[in-house]
Structure 1
Amino acid sequence: MSRPVARRAKQVPLRTHWFVLTMLLVCLATMLLLNGYTHHMYGAEPDGAVRSPGKLGGAPPSIVKGGPVIDAGEGQPRSASPKPRTIALTFDDGPDPVWTPKILDLLKAQKVHATFFVVGTEIAAHPALARRIVAEGHQIAVHTFTHANLTTVAGWRRDMELRQSQSILAGATGVTTTLLRPPYSSEPAELTDRDWESIEATRKAGYLTVLTTQDSEDWRKPGTTQIIANSMPRSSAGQVLLMHDAGGDRSETVEALSKLVPRLKARGFRFATVSDAVGLPDPTRKAGLLDRGRGLAVIWAMWLSDFVLKLLTWLLYAAGALAVLRAITTLIAARRHARMRDWLYGPPVTEPVSVIVPAYNESAGIEAAIRSLVASDHPLEVIVVDDGSTDGTADLVESLRIPGVRVIRQANAGKPIALNTGMQAARFDLIVMVDGDTVFEPDAVRMLIQPFGHPAVGAVSGNAKVGNRGGLLGRWQHIEYVIGFNLDRRLFDLAECMPTVPGAVGGFRRTALERIGGLSDVTLAEDTDLTMALCRDGWRVVYEERAVAWTEAPASLDALWRQRYRWCYGTIQAMWKHRGAWVQRGQAGKFGRRGLTYLLLFQVLLPLLAPVVDVFSLYGLVFLDPVRVLLVWLGFLVVQMGMGLYAFRLDGERAGPLWTLPLQQFVYRQLMYLVVIQSVFTALAGTRLRWQRMERYGSLQAPASTEGFP
């Protein structure tokens, strides 16, 4: 393999790209963690449906037998009860965009004030409703950040629940409060020892705890009549009545409230906020500027996290749709292409062929490549263009003294120039270009040139297979060649929009090459650039699956990264260079609107979206239903496995390596989309990438007979 002159390129500054990408991933992970915590660690059960754990008797007798407003401060704990014939209406779990406004309208019409124990996440979602509660003279109080059970959560989370709910309240309404109703709490007589420990801890944080004396049990949805019955006082004693303005359909609560308030007023009861009912000073205070700013920052962060999740969801849908679309189109195309396997392009092509082998430091594998070519069952000449090798490649080829093999030496000028040099020296009109690490089957050249029987065919792509497929990395690349590259080539062949004839095995008509001026060195993917230029010039480029050649794949992750980085970046360069094909007519237009669109969707956008699938999968495993997420992943894997089995059958390959396909999803796939991400960053930065030459191992041997490469 040759390489471009070093002075024509510069090293890409990778650190900046990876720093930006890392920061984006950190921000994304932070947003998802925030969203997952605020939306999926929410205590969804109604307060009365959960019993507090622990034994009774932990609270002091004076508290158990006392009132519902508790001060568990140092010294003797105290409690307070509502004044006689006074009802403190309280509403939990809001604000809700549907039911809270209805309840506020009803209370305003009845000229009644109530106390709303609000959840921090709901305030962040509906800050205007929280402001309306305060503006209309109602009392607003804390019901934690995510409706967490303060009795059972760890101390750090209890502190965070209180701190964040207070912060959001300050940001949304401009006030703070010292009133707290713990979720899943009940009457003082029901306090357990763990409940009391929690109340003492919240008192140290500066809160008064508000329990209830009467539960409407509207969360059970027992019907309007039963809610009214549950809410009616049994005596003239004051009550703290529990109702809900969120947590589901509250139509029964609204209807019951519209009847309950007039009925209680008629019996001589008055309504008040909690602090007024028990004779306490106003617990709300105006928030400081810093507290308001901190609260607004939390609200905006939650809004941003919601937006990020919605965006990720739509991107996930897009990635899924693209993956399904690609699977359907490639499988349909592969099936149709298989039916055309014996289709003839014209009379048999028997004319001799010039094979050009560009070589830069290819001593490890050049002998096997040359011997496989001269063992061909079709007449040919072999031209080895030594591009300034320093490892004795040219000397090695000359020492073989094989008839029909010529060596041309030139100063290092790059692979495209070496191929142009070989083309000028070629004696025949049909030219085959071969990498120096590729081994041909004996019939590969003959099969490769048969499509030239049709005068419109300007180039033919052969079937490149991975020869060194031992180990996981080798098997994964083998799978990629069979499922990815070869299935795509069948589709491109049918759609007449082949974007790449691989450098490992490709045939060309000399007149077609001369008409476009030969190969160009302005991109790093000279084979893709050449193929696109031929398509834009009106030539057909086809795929001949029976022309099999064996290539040496990278044997390490570092070598694989460098090779695929060059391929991907070079492909993006070529796509940009030939973007005008999108608006051309004829064969060039087919290539542009079909081939370039396919590359953009499935080889650029889909890999860019692939991390979304992985990120969302992790999010789902942590915060959603992990079984459902695993089932979706298994479904995706089944589709991949089905495509693999079919592609392997079409290529005549054993299906054994497919057992590594699930492992490929965890390592190899991530490496490939990171390659695309890095290539896009490099392209956007306008930096020219230096040639990344792959190390040769000499692992391939020329086939000993016509039975094929093992």
Structure 2
Amino acid sequence: MAARLRRGDARRPADHRPGDRRPAAGRRPAARRPAARNRPAARLPLRHLLPTLVLAALMAMLMLRGYVHSEILADHRIRPEAATDKVPEKILDGGPVIDTRGGQATSLRVPDHRLVLTFDDGPDPTWTPKVLDVLKKHHAHAVFFVTGTMTSRYPDLVRRMVAEGHEVGLHTFNHPDLSYQSYKRIDWELSQNQLAITGAAGVRTSLFRPPYSSFADAMDNRSWPVTEYIGSRGYITVVNTADSEDWQKPGVDEIIRRATPKGGKGAIVLMHDSGGDRHQTVQALDRYLPELQARGYRFDNLTEALGAPSALTPVTGPDLWKGKAWIFLVQAADGITDGLGVCMALVGGLVIARFALMLLLSGAHARRVRRPGFRWGEPVTEPVSVLVPAYNEAKCIENTVRSLMAGEHPVEVVVVDDGSADGTADIVEALNLPGVRVVRQPNAGKPAALNRGIAHASHDLIVMMDGDTVFEPSTVRELVQPFGDPRVGAVAGNAKVGNRNSLIGAWQHIEYVMGFNLDRRMYDTLRCMPTIPGAVGAFRRSALKQVGGMSDDTLAEDTDITMALHRAGWRVVYAEDARAWTEAPESVQQLWSQRYRWSYGTMQAIWKHRRALLDRGPSGRFGRVGLPLVSLFMVVAPLLAPLIDIFLLYGVVFGPTQKTILAWLGVLAIQATCAAYAFRLDRERMTHLISLPLQQILYRQLMYVVLLQSWITALTGGRLRWQKLRRTGVVEAPGGPGGPGGPAPRERVRVTPEMPEALGTSEATTATSEATETTDRRPVA
């Protein structure tokens, strides 16, 4: 992980937080790249393929678990008794062992004073070991008719049965009434049951007992054709002559009475070692065996009682390995899904804890900053420098600049054109607005553009915003008031989605209000704010200088600088009334590109500042509180959160459906409560929350996959491919585009290689128009 997140793996500009959309150094914008002929078909990149494979494997494990636990393909119908005129009389009047192999129907009885104990529906992890212990204690053998589902889940018990001299037989895989099933389904039930037994014990059995069977004289016109077909597949059908009816829990004495044959006759006795509480069966067995042994009975398995060759045949070769592979997959599916269930419970607890924490602390923050007479300190009235890094923002830049000039606080505006190819700088210069300067530089990325702007800023308080963002008239004034407290080194503003009329815009609007801003109130109260948004943030020059300015070590320069300020001992706070309106991505592809970099950049920043966990003193608070919370709530919990939705889908399809839906509605109600509270704090209209359920079903899944892809990119050392997001310019300055501004021409400011880059430099260097004409505006290598 360290090798993947180190400095050299991500030193490129990022489209990180709304507004910074520029290509990486050394890479042309996609629109300017010539089309290639005869280009081979694109293959799915590894970073896309791995998330797909992980999710597919997870779904496969869940489906396998549902299949093995009889939640998929289970059929619980039981057919009523039918006529018996098509059943041979010798079968109805014959013994409990029915052999229809070879097309001939015969039956066998157990010799006198021989008892064959049979146990159905197992193995069960609780009761089968107890039954085996009692049998071993009294030196008795039995036959266990096991289901494929239970055998697959508890193969060790079947292995123990065979090792201790007992026989095992088929009882189908899912325990359906076979008279309802097609021959194809019967074959499937038999083969899957046999596969599980082979994988568990390395043997194949020729014994079979139909589910819901009883005595031979209960055979009817519906069950007899199934018995004939079972014989044609090479199996002997075994019913019973004495039914203990232990499943009814009639009491130990009654179980013994029903299981005891009369007159010393031999019998096949039906009991159960699974399907419920079998403590009466175990107690009865411990009395039944010695009592009947004392009366001259022997307890053998079936072939011992009949004097026939063993019904179990060792399996070798591919069939054995196929069975072992099946058992391995089932065990893996159970282990993984059980582990995921634990993770889901932890995630559910984390989600609820986070919601509770956000509601409690954000409310405390709102009450603190809104109480009458609250002030950060002396009012801040001094002018500030506003830095606007811009790359190809021709559609947005005029609205951005005019919104600043319409503000209530004195500002100078420094637009840093980062090698735009669409005339962004020319548009700003053509406005001829007083107090607005343009600094041009070859494309070097957002951190470099911001550092260049800091070098040209004239004032000690510096506001940073994006080129697609507009401020309200009061935004700058509200943003800088916390600097009345000398301990404050940076201030986060309230970023809002301006293009919220589309469905995807409305979903991002909910995310901004509920996730980002409610989070910032919480983190402000805890004094460990993790991110100053690139769209609206303010800094002290001295604080920036202390931490070395904006870094290009990560794709999240805003998160990186915020964490660095915390570690340097500065306070970072949230100004809720410093509102900025930004243009959010309007397509899934653009949203994916943006959030992919956000997630990956956040992971890089966390890794870069991991040593904050060891910081001591007041500056160590972020490491003790903030970094663990950010890692838990922004990286780990979201990565595991899809489990909630996966188990929701699983529960809806395979049950228990009603409880699953109620649980999901409960979680949704908690989220809706938090969202409504966040909207109330932000004084937003509640109408957009109508799309919240759909957001939880669709939008949230996209964010999960993005985070998973970010993890895989980090672990595999992948590099992010840059894409310029298309802007529409729909977000306008308050009051429309006709903001104030005088016609006086402004001096054209041009970056030259000789311009000083040290933080704290405020002088501007004027470049010649000839230099402007000869500059290559393409991204530099």
* TM bracket (short chain): over 0.9
Q: CA deviation at 1:319?
A: 1.0
Matched, 1:693 2:721: no
Partner of 2:58: 28
Q: Quick one: which of 484, 496, 513 aligns to 1:465?
A: 496
Is contact 2:51–2:709 with CA below 8 Å preserved after alignment?
Answer: no
Partner of 1:6: 25
Within a 5 Å distance, the mapping from 1:1-80 to structure 2 comes to 1=20, 3=22, 5-7=24-26, 15-41=45-71, 52=80, 54-80=82-108
Partner of 2:409: 378
Give 4+ residue runs of structure 1 displaced > 6 Å after superposition.
8-14, 42-46
- Whole-Å Cα distance in 1 between the matches of residues 286 and 73 of structure 2? 29
> For the structure 1 residues 14 and 240, does the alpha-carbon distance in structure 2 shift closer, same or farther, using more than 3 Å as the test?
closer
Is contact 1:4–1:413 with CA below 8 Å preserved after alignment?
Answer: no
Instruction: Identify which range, 97-106 or 419-428, moves more after superposition.
Output: 97-106
Matched, 1:91 2:110: no
Is contact 1:52–1:184 with CA below 8 Å preserved after alignment?
Answer: no
Q: CA deviation at 1:631?
A: 1.0
Superposed CA deviations along residues 636-676 of structure 1, whole A, max 9, x for unmatched, are 10000000010000000011100100000121101111111
The TM-score, its normalising length taken from structure 2, stands at 0.85
Partner of 2:465: 434
SS in 2 for 1:341: helix
Partner of 2:215: 187
Structure 2 counterpart of 1:29, one-letter code: M
Within a 5 Å distance, the mapping from 1:301-450 to structure 2 comes to 301-342=329-370, 343-450=374-481
Superposed CA deviations along residues 432-476 of structure 1, whole A, max 9, x for unmatched, are 112111111111111111111111111111111111101210100
Is contact 1:2–1:418 with CA below 8 Å preserved after alignment?
Answer: no
> For the structure 1 residues 26 and 675, does the alpha-carbon distance in structure 2 shift closer, same or farther, using more than 3 Å as the test?
closer
- Whole-Å Cα distance in 1 between the matches of residues 553 and 521 of structure 2? 28
Give the length in aligned residue pairs. 705
- Whole-Å Cα distance in 2 between the matches of residues 514 and 257 of structure 1? 83
Instruction: Identify which range, 121-130 or 517-526, moves more after superposition.
Output: 121-130
Is contact 1:2–1:387 with CA below 8 Å preserved after alignment?
Answer: no
- Whole-Å Cα distance in 2 between the matches of residues 659 and 581 of structure 1? 41
Structure 1 counterpart of 2:594, one-letter code: Q
Is contact 2:47–2:718 with CA below 8 Å preserved after alignment?
Answer: no
Structure 1 counterpart of 2:619, one-letter code: A
Structure 1 counterpart of 2:423, one-letter code: G
Partner of 2:13: none
Q: CA deviation at 1:126?
A: 4.1
Within a 5 Å distance, the mapping from 1:525-544 to structure 2 comes to 525-544=556-575
> For the structure 1 residues 283 and 426, does the alpha-carbon distance in structure 2 shift closer, same or farther, using more than 3 Å as the test?
closer
Is contact 1:42–1:148 with CA below 8 Å preserved after alignment?
Answer: no
> For the structure 1 residues 408 and 216, does the alpha-carbon distance in structure 2 shift closer, same or farther, using more than 3 Å as the test?
same
Matched, 1:570 2:570: no
> For the structure 1 residues 598 and 220, does the alpha-carbon distance in structure 2 shift closer, same or farther, using more than 3 Å as the test?
same
Partner of 2:669: 638
- Whole-Å Cα distance in 1 between the matches of residues 340 and 162 of structure 2? 36
Superposed CA deviations along residues 223-264 of structure 1, whole A, max 9, x for unmatched, are 122222222334565432212233333333334334444554
Q: CA deviation at 1:6?
A: 2.2
Superposed CA deviations along residues 507-566 of structure 1, whole A, max 9, x for unmatched, are 111222222232222222222222222222221111100111111111111111111112
- Whole-Å Cα distance in 2 between the matches of residues 628 and 663 of structure 1? 20
Q: Quick one: which of 216, 229, 241 aligns to 2:269?
A: 241
SS in 2 for 1:503: coil
Q: CA deviation at 1:104?
A: 3.9
Partner of 1:137: 165
- Whole-Å Cα distance in 2 between the matches of residues 446 and 289 of structure 1? 80
* Structure 1 residues without counterparts, runs of 5 or longer: none
Matched, 1:251 2:279: yes
- Whole-Å Cα distance in 2 between the matches of residues 384 and 108 of structure 1? 87
- Whole-Å Cα distance in 2 between the matches of residues 338 and 266 of structure 1? 83
* Structure 2 residues without counterparts, runs of 5 or longer: 1-19, 31-41, 740-781
Structure 2 counterpart of 1:34, one-letter code: L
Is contact 1:94–1:244 with CA below 8 Å preserved after alignment?
Answer: yes
Percent identity between the two aligned chains: 53
Q: Quick one: which of 95, 110, 113 aligns to 1:82?
A: 110
Q: CA deviation at 1:108?
A: 4.5
Partner of 2:186: 158
> For the structure 1 residues 659 and 58, does the alpha-carbon distance in structure 2 shift closer, same or farther, using more than 3 Å as the test?
farther
Matched, 1:506 2:534: no
Superposed CA deviations along residues 307-354 of structure 1, whole A, max 9, x for unmatched, are 111110111012112111211111111110011124211111111111
Q: CA deviation at 1:141?
A: 2.0
- Whole-Å Cα distance in 2 between the matches of residues 78 and 381 of structure 1? 103
Q: CA deviation at 1:44?
A: 11
- Whole-Å Cα distance in 2 between the matches of residues 495 and 601 of structure 1? 15
Q: CA deviation at 1:95?
A: 3.3
Q: CA deviation at 1:691?
A: 4.0
SS in 1 for 2:388: strand
Structure 1 counterpart of 2:26, one-letter code: R
Matched, 1:149 2:177: yes
Superposed CA deviations along residues 198-226 of structure 1, whole A, max 9, x for unmatched, are 21222222101011122111111111222
Q: CA deviation at 1:614?
A: 2.0
Instruction: Identify which range, 371-380 or 93-102, moves more after superposition.
Output: 93-102
> For the structure 1 residues 106 and 703, does the alpha-carbon distance in structure 2 shift closer, same or farther, using more than 3 Å as the test?
closer
> For the structure 1 residues 240 and 432, does the alpha-carbon distance in structure 2 shift closer, same or farther, using more than 3 Å as the test?
same
- Whole-Å Cα distance in 1 between the matches of residues 468 and 575 of structure 2? 20
- Whole-Å Cα distance in 1 between the matches of residues 252 and 298 of structure 2? 21
> For the structure 1 residues 189 and 619, does the alpha-carbon distance in structure 2 shift closer, same or farther, using more than 3 Å as the test?
same
Q: Quick one: which of 591, 599, 605 aligns to 1:560?
A: 591
Within a 5 Å distance, the mapping from 1:451-462 to structure 2 comes to 451-462=482-493
Instruction: Identify which range, 67-76 or 692-701, moves more after superposition.
Output: 67-76
The TM-score, its normalising length taken from structure 1, stands at 0.93
> For the structure 1 residues 201 and 483, does the alpha-carbon distance in structure 2 shift closer, same or farther, using more than 3 Å as the test?
same
Partner of 1:229: 257
